[in-house]
A = this chain, B = another copy of it.
Amino acid sequence: MTVSFSIIKEDARTGARAGVLHTLRGDVETPVFMPVGTQATVKTMTPREVWDLGGRLILSNTYHLYLRPGADLIREAGGLHRFMGWTGPILTDSGGFQVFSLASLRRIEEEGVWFRSHIDGSEHFFSPEKAMAVQEALGSDIAMAFDQCAPYPCTYEEAREAMERTSRWALRCKEARRREDQALFGIVQGGVHRDLREKSAKDLVELDFPGYGIGGLSVGEPKDIMYQVLDYTVPLLPREKPRYLMGVGSPDCLLEGVARGVDMFDCVLPTRIARNGTVFTRDGKLVVRNAGYARDFRPLDPECDCYACRHFTRAYIRHLIKANEVLGIRLTTIHNLHFVLELMRNIRRAILEGNFYDYKEAFLARWNKN
C-alpha cells in the first residue's frame, strides 16, 4: 500500500483521533494541516521555510499546474517534488473544484467538463481519466478522484446529480489509475443533504479507497451547517482510513473538524489573509494593516514565538505592507502558517494527553471573545 494510516489514540469525549499517515516520502502525524502550494509554491515561502514551520504534507493544485507550466513540463523536470524542491509528500487535488469555481464557460457532460482557462481563455477538457493522467504526470503521493462539487446554495436535484456523477467518476478514476506509487483518495459529495451524503459515502466506501475526502463543504454555507454535515457524514466513513475535510483552515473549524473525527485539512485562508495584512492571534484575527497599529511596537501576537514575532513589530510589518514590500506579506504568512501548524501540534498533543475537549473549549472561548 502506497499510503497507510495508523491510529495512535482516539479521544474519549469527542471523535478526535491522533494518528500517523505513512507515505513513501515519510510519515505525517495527524491531525494534519496541509499548506497550499497552488502554483508549485506555498505563496511567498521557500520549501525549507515551510518545513521549518512544521509543514510535512503540502497540497498542490492540478488545475493550475496543468494550465501553467503544464504537466508535461513538470514530468520532464522529474515530477513536482523535484520541480519545486519539496522532498516531503504532496497531495494533489483533482482539479474538479477549480474547474467548477475558477474556470468559465463550463459544459458538464457525463464524459467530463469543458472549461476555459482563467489565464488566457483557452478551451480545455477534463475527465476522470484526464485528471488521473495529469496527477500521475505531476507524481504526487496522494491523488484525489475527479469530482463534481455542487455550489451552495443549490437545489436538492443539483446536489443529487453532482453526487451521483462523483460516484461514477470515482470508479473511472480508480480504473484509470496506473501509478503504483501514488495513492488515490475518493471524495464524498452530497451537499447539505443527509441522505445524499449517506448514498455518496456508501458508493465511495464500496470502492475501498485508502482515504476519503469530504468535499462540497466550506463553500459558503454557515459553519453550523458544515458541522452538522460532518456530524452525520464522518461516522459513515471507515474508522481505519484517513478522513480529509477539503478547503477548511480557520482555527475554529480545524478544532471542530478534529472533534468530529477529521484527520486532514487544507486551506488557502491562513496564507491568503496574510497577504491582505490580517493575522491570527490567540484572541482572534488582527488586521495589522489598520492605521491603529502604525505605532504599535508589540509583536503580531505577543504569545507567539515564530520568526516574525520574535524579531518584528506590528508597526514595522504595517509599514512594509503599506509600502508594498514583499517582506511584509512574508512575515504575516510565516506567522499565520506557524499559528495553524502549531495549533495542529497542540491539538495532537491534547488528544494524546486525553484533554482535547478542554483544550478545544478553552481555545474557542478566547478566540470567540473578540
- Residues on A facing B (Cβ under 8 Å): 39-41, 43-47, 68-69, 73, 76-78, 83-85, 294-295, 297, 307, 311-313, 315-316, 319-320, 322-323, 325-327, 329-330
Pair A46/B327 contact, Cβ less than 8 Å: yes
In the complex, which residues of chain B have a beta carbon less than 8 angstroms from the beta carbon of A325? Answer: 39, 41, 43
CA distance in complex: A105, B297 (Å):
35
Contact of A85 among B40, B76, B294, B312 (CB under 8 A): B312
CA distance in complex: A141, B92 (Å):
50
Pair A77/B313 contact, Cβ less than 8 Å: yes
Copies in the complex: 2
- Kindly list 12 other residue pairs between chains A and B, CB separation below 8 angstroms, not including A47-B311, A73-B294: A39-B323, A40-B319, A43-B327, A44-B330, A68-B323, A69-B294, A76-B295, A77-B315, A77-B316, A84-B316, A85-B311, A326-B326
In the complex, which residues of chain B have a beta carbon less than 8 angstroms from the beta carbon of A307? Answer: 46
Instruction: Give A85 Cβ to nearest chain B Cβ, in Å.
Output: 5
* 3 A-B pairs with the lowest CB-CB distances in the bound complex, closest first: A44-B326, A69-B319, A41-B327
The answer to whether A326 and B329 touch (CB under 8 A), given A73-B295, A76-B295, is yes
Instruction: Give A106 Cβ to nearest chain B Cβ, in Å.
Output: 23
Pair A330/B326 contact, Cβ less than 8 Å: yes
In the complex, which residues of chain B have a beta carbon less than 8 angstroms from the beta carbon of A45? Answer: 327
The answer to whether A76 and B297 touch (CB under 8 A), given A41-B325, A85-B312, A316-B84, is yes
Can you report 14 residue pairs joining A to B where beta carbons are below 8 Å apart?
Answer: A40-B319, A41-B327, A43-B325, A43-B327, A44-B330, A46-B330, A73-B294, A73-B315, A73-B319, A76-B295, A85-B311, A326-B326, A326-B329, A326-B330
Instruction: Give A213 Cβ to nearest chain B Cβ, in Å.
Output: 26
Closest to A83 in B: B316
Q: A46, A84, A295, A327 — which one has the most chain B CB atoms within 10 A of its CB?
A: A327
CA distance in complex: A326, B49 (Å):
14
In the complex, which residues of chain B have a beta carbon less than 8 angstroms from the beta carbon of A83? Answer: 313, 315-316
Pair A326/B85 contact, Cβ less than 8 Å: no
